[in-house]
Structure 1
Amino acid sequence: MRRSQESAFREFAAARMGHLFRSACLLTSGDTYLAEDLVQETLGRMYVVWGRSSKLGNPAAYAQTVLVRVFLAHQRRRSSGERPSDEIPEVSETAAQGDASLRLMLLDALRKLPAKDRAVVVLRYWEDRSVTETADVLNVSSAAVRTRSTRALARLRAQLGDNIGEFAAH
């Protein structure tokens, strides 16, 4: 890779790393270690194709697509042998107040969704992507995205129930 391309990639990676990490944290339901691994894998794949301008019409969108696909591939492999838990670890009282409680509750609810549903929710509502864009990223039809969105939101509402109102009021 030429020096100018390499410096352009470094600038891109520095500018997008925070956003990629936040998206990865949502995809992994708060597993920051896995999120870091996903971002590193995403940036590694971006580096490989960085010189090919035809693939990178919009590098930021392409990076988000790569991130979601890396996440879904990881979910399919599950080679680590780790299994998600139904319970959140104990949290100190100071951390269990206000926004922190809401974040933990939402991350726990996201964790209980299947990986593809979680990806749809993150892309549609965190990344604010259209149904068509989400379908392109996930290689599914627009109808599948709408169906998954509806079902995932219904599951989230069922999990969060009336509790969400008391936290959102803070």
Structure 2
Amino acid sequence: MTTDFADFVRLRYSELLRSAYLLTGSTHAAEDLLQTALLKAMGRWSTIDEPLPYIRRSMVNLHVSVWRRYGAREILHAVLPERGVRDGVHQVEQRHAIVDALRALPPRTRAVVVLRYWDDLSEADTAAALNCSIGTVKSQASRGLARLRVVLGERTMTP
């Protein structure tokens, strides 16, 4: 393992794991997804020019591939990993509601929403990560946000 790869993993692992969790809705599946993407990248590390977008795209492709292979199946509600006591119960409930709402989206739409609004990628960067047009990103983001508003609007969401 090169030091560049190890440094990248050390710096970006938590960020990528959060994105993987939002894609999969499961802590264990997120870890598997990220580790698989990192393993695939490790063998080609010297040829990868932009590692962060490459790993993100790899995670999305792997996730969509697994989803297609096994189909949508019910996911047990996992406890969202907490990083401290500072969150109140209400905030944790809201976080669970958001993750549940994301799970309700189709994988491709979920990928767009996660990359655009969680990872804060531009439309162009999201399109590049997903190998699609900017128009597709816009339409998928619009549909995804509309669906999230409907699902989350059914619950009482306060800041």
How far apart in 2 are the matches of 1:161 and 1:7?
47
Aligned to 2:17: 21
Q: Partner amino acid for 2:24?
A: T
1:124 pairs with 2:95: no
Taking the TM superposition and a 5 Å limit, the aligned residue runs for 1:1-170 are 6-29=2-25, 31-52=26-47, 56-78=48-70, 83-84=73-74, 88=77, 97-161=89-153, 163-166=155-158, 168=159
Distance in 2, Cα, partners of 1:100 & 1:160: 14
Identical amino acids, percent of aligned pairs: 38
Deviation at 1:38, TM superposition (A): 0.4
Deviation at 1:162? 5.6
CA deviation after TM superposition for structure 1 residue 41, in Å: 0.5
Letter in 2 for 1:49: R
- Range moving further from structure 2, 133-142 or 143-152: 133-142
TM-score calculated relative to the size of structure 2: 0.85
Is the 8 Å Cα contact of residues 53 and 129 (structure 2) preserved in structure 1? no
Taking the aligned partners of 1:89 and 1:18, their CA distance within structure 2 comes to 18
RMSD: 2.3
Is the 2:101–2:152 contact (alpha carbons within 8 Å) kept by the matching residues of 1?
yes
Aligned equivalents of 2:127, 2:53: Cα separation in 1: 13
- Partner of 2:82 in structure 1? none
Unaligned runs of 5+ in 2: 80-86
Structure with greater Cα Rg: 1
Q: Which amino acid aligns with 1:8?
A: D
| Runs of 4+ deviating beyond 2 Å | 87-90, 162-166
What do residues 44-83 of structure 1 show as CA deviations (whole Å, max 9, x unaligned)?
A: 011011122xxx22212222222222211111112xx771
Name structure 1 gaps, 5 residues minimum.
none
Amino acid of the structure 2 residue aligned with 1:6? T
